[in-house]
Homo-oligomer: A and B are copies of this chain.
């Protein structure tokens, strides 16, 4: 499984992905699910992936390889984030068509989802959610975040505290708490986390970090959240009758 969240906010964007993949519970591995296509000063395009690892790796490999084609239409020369989303969606369809082929009857789910966000000079930052069919939706200030993968355990806290005007630091804090809840409830989502904060109009991907089990801030946050929740629970009144 996988959990990825991306937030499209007034001050910029926040991306956080876990790194655990599994094929059954006895085949667990660590793979990065946050991928960058950056031309400093011109564009930062962030891809986050969930679903069939063979499909998502092929999609990212093909997108990466094609950035070297001088006459090609690729992520380093598309004119807009919309075109970037089209390109990712088209590549998803291409890989699934190749791997399922007419002879494939394996019953395996080749599907995957991508979040594609960032900014290309000439337009504002944008965020897209690419479905397994390759079609996609775009975030708006009314819907300031998207999730893919194991999204439910970590959604209530985002629903409660995040909106378009949330500054980047509390937004990142919210995303990390959302991951803590998810990791606690689903063994197939695991550390380390990859996180990237994008400042609007910066065209820079330098605010990127890997967060592992020993990260001081993450440890403080999960301890404080866990103890605070229990304290809050105990402070609230118990039912007056049974």
Binding site for B on A (CB under 8 A): 152-153, 155-157, 159-161, 168-170, 172-174, 176-177, 181, 184-185, 197, 199, 207, 209, 217, 220-221, 224-226, 228-230, 232-242
Q: Is B152 in contact with A242, judged by CB distance below 8 angstroms?
A: no
Q: Chain B nearest CB: distance from A192 CB in Å?
A: 16
Residues on B with beta carbons closer than 8 Å to the beta carbon of A181: 156
Contact A217/B232 with A153-B156, A159-B185 known, Cβ cut-off 8 Å: no
Q: Is B221 in contact with A240, judged by CB distance below 8 angstroms?
A: no
Residues on B with beta carbons closer than 8 Å to the beta carbon of A236: 173, 221, 224-225, 228
Residues on B with beta carbons closer than 8 Å to the beta carbon of A235: 224, 228
Q: Is B232 in contact with A228, judged by CB distance below 8 angstroms?
A: yes
Q: Is A207 in contact with B152, judged by CB distance below 8 angstroms?
A: no
Q: Is A168 in contact with B229, judged by CB distance below 8 angstroms?
A: no
Which one of B161, B220, B224, B242 lies within 8 Å of A172 (CB-CB)?
Answer: B242
Which one of B160, B207, B220, B242 lies within 8 Å of A237 (CB-CB)?
Answer: B220
- Besides A152-B185, A209-B241, A217-B239, 11 new A-B residue pairs in contact (Cβ under 8 A), listed by A number: A152-B153, A156-B184, A157-B229, A157-B233, A159-B185, A160-B229, A173-B233, A173-B236, A221-B236, A224-B236, A224-B237
